[in-house]
Structure 1
Amino acid sequence: MEYLVKVLEPTDLWYLQNNINKETNKYYHPTKTIPFVQQVEIHLENSGVIIQKGALHRCVGRLSYEIYKTDNRLRDIWVALTTDIEYNAPVYKGTGTVHLEPRQKGNFLHYTSIAIADHEQWEFDDDIFQFCSDNVVVGAKRLKYRQTIGSSDGKWRIALKALPNKAAKAVLGTITPAKVVELNRGEILIADFDMVKGFTKGIVEDYRKLGHFGRGGGEGFVWVYEGEGRLLVSETEGMGLG
């Protein structure tokens, strides 16, 4: 499963009809909004992809349509009830191209691809999951009450685990660029904002106050990550840089 993120601009006729000089005002016009859209193309080669329900724009090729399900239908329903992963999430298999619904200018995302190793499990913020290969098991993890206070992600996270002897791939979308970093044993990550968007099993997350009764640097409540594993971090989200 490979994917490509395209930014599509209006046609030359649109520029002409709206009396806009394409050469000088391609990205900005002082009085008119130029409509750009962002669209994801997923290329399958004898493989499969799980997408959000309702995310399909079109597809073409030698493809078959299925419904995501595991050997535990109660778990599938529970995941659908507690996260943005819809019950009966669509799965496309075969060889061809799947296009997702385009996103209008102002709602573009930065996409990050993560390879999920055999027996590795990731937890992701619910609203950043976009699609993944079909060789995974999808679950849900409940956040502690203190964690829900410091985050706008709700009470649940999506958990993805590769099937035994399989290497899976997940693609996440964040409002600012994200990257994967390693946290080694004995190291700690402390952040004053919700910069970590996902992490592997072996990382312990906590939302706690630094110090008591005014002691501890005056930071108040912070996110703390300890253990050993990988994290998906978006360092610039709190800066307003987009």
Structure 2
Amino acid sequence: MRSSLKFTNKLKMLSEMEYESKFQVLEYEDLDGATDVQTAFGLNIIKQSGIKLKQVRIILDDSTVKLEPGTLSYMKGNIEIQSRSGGLIGFGKKIISSKLTGETAFKPIYSGTGEIFLEPSFGHFALIELEDDEIILSDDMFYACEEGVEVNAAAQRSASAVFLGNEGLYQTRLEGNGIVAIKVPVPENEIFKCVLINDTLKVDGSLAILRTGNIEFSVEKSSKSIMGTAISGEGIVNVYRGTGEVWLVPTKNIYSELKLKGAHKANKLETELEDEDV
């Protein structure tokens, strides 16, 4: 594939996958564009905290990809943009699926040869290659995929998962062949990719963000009284059974706690400064 991007000491590639197109996750080492004290102060905090700006790059070689609307930053080359509804039936299916999963109904389609750069983000990304397979995602994780991957809705198969699983009645399902780029809540090296071979995984809390389509999901009680469990919320575990893979993010709760503590300290400091001004 043709490529014109020159990597410098400011930009490095974290991961790469290739099918019909080539997907890359890039990372900016430092941001040095501050022109005022406030921005410089913010960039210094970001640098000291080890927070890195990341960006997904897609190289098309007479190929096609689908993007989440609003994610395009810029592109170069002979690339056409279109939106396919799939006719009246396809239009109806997309509308229904979007209402069920919260995903946008229509994904812009980019076809041709060239390079696409998606919006930079301080968040985290992961690449997955599907080979006649499917994955079930938590909400708002889809970012981009190749044309051979379909994005639709997957219904929960058990009543316990619907009412006690905190995942809703439907989740986002990706199925087919090709590369998928997803947004993940923690760095990929902090994701525990648990492989099950005709086995059972029980998880306390909503730590699972992805599972392959042949993994059955349900919610079960560990207490004797199901009524007591439903009222108190104690003794409930998410259960995954079968053969496949489940992605867990055990560090996610730690970040949530730190964020809350940081917000509390920031509000306290702001109040103290306002009192001093008075």
The two structures have a TM-score, normalised by structure 1, of 0.77
Identity among equivalent pairs (%)? 21
- Which residue identity lines up with residue 55 of structure 1 in the other structure? T
Determine which of 153, 161, 170 is the counterpart of 2:175. 161
SS in 1 for 2:152: strand
| Structure-to-structure mapping, 1:13-24, within 5 angstroms | 14=34, 17-18=36-37
Matched, 1:192 2:204: yes
2:47 is matched with: 27
1:78 is matched with: 96
Determine which of 238, 241, 255 is the counterpart of 1:226. 241
- Kept in 2, the 8 Å contact 1:112–1:179? The answer is no
1:32 is matched with: none
2:26 is matched with: 5
SS in 1 for 2:76: strand
Q: CA RMSD in A?
A: 3.4
SS in 2 for 1:127: coil
Structure 1 or 2, whichever has the larger Rg, is 2
| Structure-to-structure mapping, 1:1-242, within 5 angstroms | 1=21, 2-7=23-28, 9-12=30-33, 14=34, 17-18=36-37, 27-28=47-48, 37-70=53-86, 72-73=89-90, 74-103=92-121, 108-118=122-132, 120-143=133-156, 146-148=160-162, 150=164, 153-162=167-176, 167-176=177-186, 177=188, 178-185=191-198, 187-213=199-225, 220-240=235-255
Count of aligned pairs: 224
SS in 1 for 2:161: helix
C-alpha distance in 2, partners of 1:207/1:9?
44
Cα deviation for residue 95 of structure 1 reads 1.7
- Kept in 2, the 8 Å contact 1:148–1:154? The answer is yes
The two structures have a TM-score, normalised by structure 2, of 0.68
Residues 210 and 26 of structure 1: CA distance in aligned 2, closer, same or farther (over 3 Å): closer
Deviation digits for residues 191-222 of structure 1, max 9, x if unmatched? Answer: 1021221222221111121131499xx96101
Deviation digits for residues 108-164 of structure 1, max 9, x if unmatched? Answer: 32222111112x1221112211111111222202335643555555432111111xx
Deviates more, 1:120-129 or 1:2-11: 2-11
Residues 61 and 82 of structure 1: CA distance in aligned 2, closer, same or farther (over 3 Å): same
Unaligned ranges ≥5, structure 2: 1-20, 259-278
Residues 48 and 180 of structure 1: CA distance in aligned 2, closer, same or farther (over 3 Å): farther
C-alpha distance in 1, partners of 2:84/2:26?
24
SS in 2 for 1:170: strand
| Greater per-residue helix proportion | 2
